[in-house]
Structure 1
Amino acid sequence: MQIFLQTMAGKMISLSVEPSETIKSAKARVQEAEGLITSQQQWVWCGEKLSDRLSFEDYEMQADSTIDLILSKQKVQISVRTFDGNFLRLETESCSSVEELKNQIEEASPGCFKDVAPEYRAWVFQGKSLEDGRHLSDYGIESGSTVWLAARKVARGALSEASAEPPK
């Protein structure tokens, strides 16, 4: 069946769903198609916030129903371990981009970059390099997470990442 999602900005999104499909599954498809992060989507129908674990048939929803799509921004508090071993504590949003985080760190601690050129900086979370163009939520970064700022080293003419996290 076809349903419609209406954003607060007035945009209408058409979505084909099965009555037995969960709200969570449909939100994931909206994220893929529209880039709206699943955890920030709140769906409201007939004044009731829809539960991710329930299905459209659980709500007795009919074809051509219109659901209000409200986007919420989640604040997260993260730590950043800098080159010199210091920790910065920052509050940001889970929908922030990697670039926005980098800028926020630069503003909070301008001196932490002075000795390392941009091409030699590596941003790491749980062993994965953070890439520009992605969002913190893409990596599962949430409150309490630590992002490591590490230096890359030159090895035989190519860049390679230095160990960004201490041995366990």
Structure 2
Amino acid sequence: MQIFLQTMAGKMISLSIEPSETIKSAKARVQEAEGLIASQQQWVWCGEKLSDRLRFEDYEIQADSTIDLILSKQKIQISIRTFDGNFLRLETESCSSVEDLKAQIEEASPGCFKDVAPEYRAWVFQGKSLEDGRHLSDYGIDSGSTVWLAARKTARGARSEASAEPPD
């Protein structure tokens, strides 16, 4: 059956596979055909990173499915900003999950964003709130990107959607 791999650059790669084939085997064929080092390929389908040792049928991947192909060794530098002026620059990987980014921010600068409790934090990039279970690459976050922290709290203390627009 045929599947598609979509790179972060938007390139679509067509690949014929057998459902019983391992992810590792398919990555080796992509390396041979496209020159992308197999050990640096991260394949993500429906928000889940695919394990090299499992087979396509283990994930119930169907014909014509599209899998995100991310090169894991691609380091990126991003900025984290709050609307009250706090700033942090981080180096991370483009295939990092939103949860990984949050943990990395806390580790790099414990207490830097303490004015907003974790449950009321909204991390925003280009007008979209970053959701757990997704990857930075899902949002097009790459080197030079700025992620904003906004509070999801109204004057009464109730949760609300964060403003997705940075200040002028």
Which TM-score applies when normalising by structure 2?
0.57
Corresponding position of 1:150: 150
Whole-Å Cα distance in 1 between the matches of residues 114 and 48 of structure 2? 52
> How far off its partner does 1:54 sit?
28
Judged with a 3 Å threshold, the aligned counterparts in structure 2 of structure 1 residues 89 and 31 are, in CA distance, closer, same or farther, namely farther
Provide the aligned length of Structure 1 versus Structure 2: 168
- Report the secondary structure of 1:110's partner residue: coil
Contact 1:22 1:54 in 2 (8 A): yes
- Report the secondary structure of 1:160's partner residue: coil
> How far off its partner does 1:16 sit?
2.3
Whole-Å Cα distance in 1 between the matches of residues 52 and 81 of structure 2? 35
Contact 2:72 2:95 in 1 (8 A): no
Contact 1:84 1:112 in 2 (8 A): no
Whole-Å Cα distance in 1 between the matches of residues 159 and 48 of structure 2? 53
> How far off its partner does 1:109 sit?
1.2
- Report the secondary structure of 2:64's partner residue: coil
> How far off its partner does 1:77 sit?
0.4
What are the residue-to-residue correspondences of 1:75-94 with 2, within 5 Å? 75-82=75-82, 84-94=84-94
> How far off its partner does 1:82 sit?
2.9
> How far off its partner does 1:151 sit?
0.7
Structure 1, unpaired ranges of 5+: none
* Root-mean-square deviation (Å): 11.6
Structure 2, unpaired ranges of 5+: none
- Report the secondary structure of 1:70's partner residue: strand
Judged with a 3 Å threshold, the aligned counterparts in structure 2 of structure 1 residues 151 and 23 are, in CA distance, closer, same or farther, namely same
Percent identity among equivalent residues? 93
- Report the secondary structure of 1:158's partner residue: coil
Whole-Å Cα distance in 2 between the matches of residues 46 and 115 of structure 1? 34
Contact 1:83 1:151 in 2 (8 A): no
> How far off its partner does 1:163 sit?
2.5
Higher Cα Rg, which structure? 1
The superposition leaves residues 84-136 of structure 1 with CA deviations (integer Å, 9 ceiling, x where unpaired) of 41211110000000011001110111112323222211000000000011100
> How far off its partner does 1:160 sit?
1.5
**Bigger mean CA offset, 5-14 vs 154-163:** 5-14
- Report the secondary structure of 1:19's partner residue: coil
The superposition leaves residues 44-92 of structure 1 with CA deviations (integer Å, 9 ceiling, x where unpaired) of 9999999999999999999999999995421000000035412111100
Judged with a 3 Å threshold, the aligned counterparts in structure 2 of structure 1 residues 96 and 85 are, in CA distance, closer, same or farther, namely same
Corresponding position of 2:31: 31
Judged with a 3 Å threshold, the aligned counterparts in structure 2 of structure 1 residues 57 and 86 are, in CA distance, closer, same or farther, namely closer
